[in-house]
Amino acid sequence: MTDRPIAEPRSDCPACGSGALKSLLHLPAIPVQSCILLDRADEGASFPRHEMRLTYCETCGFVFNAAFDERLIDYASATEESQHFSGTFNAFAKRLVEEIVATWPLEGRKVLEIGCGKGDFLRELCLAVRCQALGIDPGFIEERLETLDGGSLRFQREYFSPRTVNMRPDLVVCRHTLEHIGEVRAFVDNILPLVAGRPGAGIFFETPDVGRVLREGAFWDIYFEHCSYFTPGTHARLFRAAGYDVTDVRLDYGDQYIIQHARPAGGTSVPPHPAEEPLEELAAVAAAFPAKVAEVMAHWRDFVIRRYRDGQRIAVWGGGSKCVSFLTSLDLDEEIAQVIDINPHKQNRFLPGTGALVSAPEMLSKSPPDTVIVMNPVYLDEIGRSLADMGLSPELVAV
């Protein structure tokens, strides 16, 4: 990464253009990428940082990082975002595939996935229904994915641009990508022509929900490359304004993810869905967030420091973005004895911000922890079983 002029904080909403903005949280220096993995501890500790300015739009309710600078991000580097090594996550992904196949007529048709990651979800979809599929992602790694017979699944290792999509998809899938897009309205606008004008064509989006983050003060779910933060209401309103009918929107996966189906607007108005929160309700939650996040940060720092000073070994389970944010936001280093992850591609690599080593679960048997902090409560049962299988029974807590 080269030195570049520091951009001024954004003064208008990327979703609606309003200038009625309110500051929610300022983090002066956090790693500019949290899914990247480094080869040495010193590379992790010295990884570039930038400020984070979480900002709320009082006009539409959209939350975004006003200090975001996309020039600092390189998704083609050694990023590792895959969650498909978890049985819990795989079961969820398979259920989503079943839902998509039941909702959209895809037999013999074309599917485009924008931000396909390592391609696991798109491959699962192709196994469920015979279709022509194209995945686009700058971080795709060909040798990581088992190919399908018949050539029905292909990938382009690049950033999405409608100019390079040489198909007219019947369904556009976009999972855990919109939160990485700074110019969200332009991005959504660019997708509409790909599906417009054809009966049965539409889109499927999955995006993290910020409503829970605001209510819980969940600072570990705030990181630099997540520049755009949605609730079901702000998500649906963005797409309606861009010319889509939102046919379904809801929360799933422990109410952490927004699931949305939509199609090009057809003239008949589709009413808002029950999951869409009123703007005044969201405004109240946003107003309470600064005090809530300060309280939660103080709690977790005290939680870790007290145990560390008592001589206890503390492990964090989950060596991804949540862990990087948790450690760097609380300025934790030697207080954490181990960082654990089941993803073999993360193991024996080092995290940005702290340079902490990521280890396999088996390492806990050699140095048993007194406390394990789980970075996502969805995995509590799965992790509890793994610890029990190793004969370990530490204090187990989830953020």
300-330 pLDDT, tens digit per residue, is: 999 999 999 999 999 999 998 999 999 999 9
pLDDT, average across residues 4-32: 90
pTM: 0.91
Q: What's the confidence (pLDDT) of residue 1?
A: 42
Residue closest to 38 by CA, chosen among 302, 339, 310, 280: 339
Q: What's the confidence (pLDDT) of residue 2?
A: 41
Amino acid at the residue 307:
R
pLDDT, average across residues 32-42: 92
In tens, the pLDDT along 167-178 reads 999 999 999 999
In tens, the pLDDT along 186-205 reads 999 999 999 999 889 999 99
β-sheet with 202-208: strand ranges across: 153-156, 132-136, 110-114, 171-175, 202-208, 257-264, 244-252
In tens, the pLDDT along 86-110 reads 677 788 899 999 999 999 999 999 9
Confidence tier at 261 by pLDDT (50, 70, 90): very high
Confidence tier at 35 by pLDDT (50, 70, 90): confident
The CATH number given to 308-398 is 3.40.50.720
Q: What's the confidence (pLDDT) of residue 210?
A: 98
